[in-house]
Amino acid sequence: MVKGYILVTTKPGKEYDVAEQVKKFPFVSDVDVTYGLWDIVVRVQPPTLSELDKVISMIRSLKEVEQTVTLVSHE
């Protein structure tokens, strides 16, 4: 199994809207709105790197998302 953390920067004031949308995506296990450089931290646990890529693409396609960085761990 793959474990990933996706760090998301949103347009100002849109972090809670994006978080609610991302919670519905497949393989998302946790979504936290944070303070600091990143607005949201998303934890995903897809079965493959290919599925992780799909989730990342879904997040990046949201119009309120400005930037993402992904951290990947393989168990």
So where are the chain's domains? 2-74
Q: Which residues of 56-75 are buried (b: 16+ CB within 10 A; e: fewer)?
A: bebbeebeebeebebeeeee
So what CATH class is 2-74? Answer: alpha beta
| Terminal alpha carbon distance of the chain | 6
**Cβ partners under 8 Å of residue 43, min gap 6:** 3, 4, 5, 28, 29, 30, 31
Average pLDDT over all residues of the chain: 96
Q: What is the pLDDT of residues 27-63, one digit of tens each?
A: 999 999 999 999 999 999 999 999 999 999 999 999 9
- Is pLDDT of 75 > 70? no
Average pLDDT over residues 1-8: 95
Q: What does the pLDDT read at residue 1?
A: 84
pTM over 0.85: yes
